[in-house]
Structure 1
């Protein structure tokens, strides 16, 4: 699968890349929602891992834009446990699932496989 990773933390992007790159192709990395939307348009990834809280444009706004452009877009939100209210907004914006930080390889791959299976 082609994957786009979006997180304002380089450490979190690195962690997700390490988990995913063995079995998937990382087509891009973005550090804010603006970059995520641009990269989505350019790369048309199969799935996007999207942080919720980011500067310039947050993950909810970016997800909303991406799913408006492509109703079939698959977005997985990356969230801290205390962001439950924002998760509801993310689902409304079109996110299909979520993973919590700190990322655990097993839960990341389970979520990815679940969404890929449709």
Structure 2
């Protein structure tokens, strides 16, 4: 069972992703409401996968991806954001994200993407 860290500033989105992932055989090992908490939780729980929003307070998702990749170059991070413009997608991938899912998303697509990691 793959362990996932869900990072999103919206409680609703974290809860929604948790329910979706658990329903499909993933374990949500932790949640983070901003990028800094995500980095610290990553170091603490060492998840298999991270889902990361871009727009968050304190530390945005792009900075958090860079910090996690610096700590663990093998980290598997998928961006899940409503900021689907090409420049954001490109920046996320160049920062080390393995993929990008645009909100609103389809459950099947999220599960398929995470299962491939």
Q: Which TM class, normalised by the smaller chain length?
A: over 0.9
Q: RMSD across aligned C-alpha pairs, in angstroms?
A: 1.1
Matched, 1:5 2:6: yes
Flag as ranges the 4+ runs of structure 1 deviating above 4 A.
none
- 1:83 pairs, out of 62, 82, 85, with 85
- Residue from 52, 61, 67 that aligns with 2:69: 67
Is 1:108 matched up with 2:110?
yes
Give 1:84 deviation, angstroms. 2.5
Q: Is the 8 A contact 2:4 2:51 kept in 1?
A: yes
User: Equivalent residue for 2:37?
Assistant: 35
TM-score (norm 2): 0.94
